[in-house]
A = this chain, B = another copy of it.
Amino acid sequence: MVNKSSSFEHIPLPTLRRLPYYYNILCNYQNNGYTYVSSSLLAKHIGIDSTLVRKDIALTGYIGRPKVGFNTTDFKIHLEKFLKMDKLKEVVIIGAGNLGTALCKYDGFKIYGLNIVEAFDRDPTKIGNKIGDIPISHISKLSMQVKKRDIKIAIIATTGENAQDTANILVESGIISIWNFAPVFLNVPETVFVWNENLAASFIALSQFIN
């Protein structure tokens, strides 16, 4: 007998990526005074089947009320805990160019527990500057800082050319999750999770639809 709400029932990646949307919709309905939402309402917003919504929710261990739906406040709190949004995670970013700067300044991340604490770059003219509250340090300090602060997540916002070298440093420093904005696949050990945010690939997909 497996305890569903405990540790790791493997959550499919598609489900994991939909959960933040449910959270968003819940926030909206809560703000507008709704105390319950139905799976079909959530489904309509996301454009999927309501069965899939109920399956997703079941995977998080939350239980709804037949005939009524899901309590907005309870489910919202449940999701915050389930997704560990309530725990702030220290993250470093490598590459303080336009994209790196935008990511540092983007405050929509805060509620999800993302806290960028330090940026790294090669460009000597940038070292010592700050992006908002975030200091920019030289890439040579990266490994030491990651180890010292026991940081587990890193964002790569370098060029494609520098991405693999950066990844090597990160892996060696103990990083286990890499958010990669460079348009290359990274060669890392199987124990390291990489999420590729390939903007160029997205655009390609998008532009195929205009014939």
Bound CA span A45–B108, Å: 33
Are B176 and A109 in contact, CB atoms less than 8 angstroms apart?
no
Bound CA span A88–B102, Å: 26
Binary contact readout A9-35 vs B (1 if CB under 8 angstroms, 0 otherwise): 001010011111100100000000000
Are A202 and B197 in contact, CB atoms less than 8 angstroms apart?
yes
Would A199 and B106 be within 8 Å (CB), given that A185-B47, A205-B13 are in contact?
yes
Contact of A197 among B13, B108, B199, B208 (CB under 8 A): B199
State how many copies of this chain the complex holds.
2
Contacts of A101 in B (CB 8 A): 98, 102
Q: Is A61 an interface residue (CB 8 A)?
A: no
Are A160 and B24 in contact, CB atoms less than 8 angstroms apart?
yes
Bound CA span A105–B100, Å: 12
Distance of A91 from chain B, by nearest CB (Å): 9
Are A84 and B207 in contact, CB atoms less than 8 angstroms apart?
yes
Q: Is A184 an interface residue (CB 8 A)?
A: yes
Q: Is A201 an interface residue (CB 8 A)?
A: yes
What are 26 residue pairs bridging A and B, where the CB atoms are less than 8 Å apart in the complex? A16-B204, A17-B198, A17-B202, A17-B205, A18-B201, A19-B204, A20-B200, A24-B184, A83-B207, A85-B204, A89-B210, A98-B101, A98-B102, A98-B106, A99-B106, A108-B199, A112-B200, A114-B207, A152-B210, A153-B206, A176-B209, A176-B210, A177-B207, A179-B202, A197-B197, A197-B199
Give the B-binding residues of A (Cβ under 8 A): 11, 13, 16-21, 24, 45-47, 83-85, 89, 98-99, 101-103, 105-106, 108-109, 112-114, 152-153, 160, 176-177, 179, 183-185, 187, 193, 195, 197-210
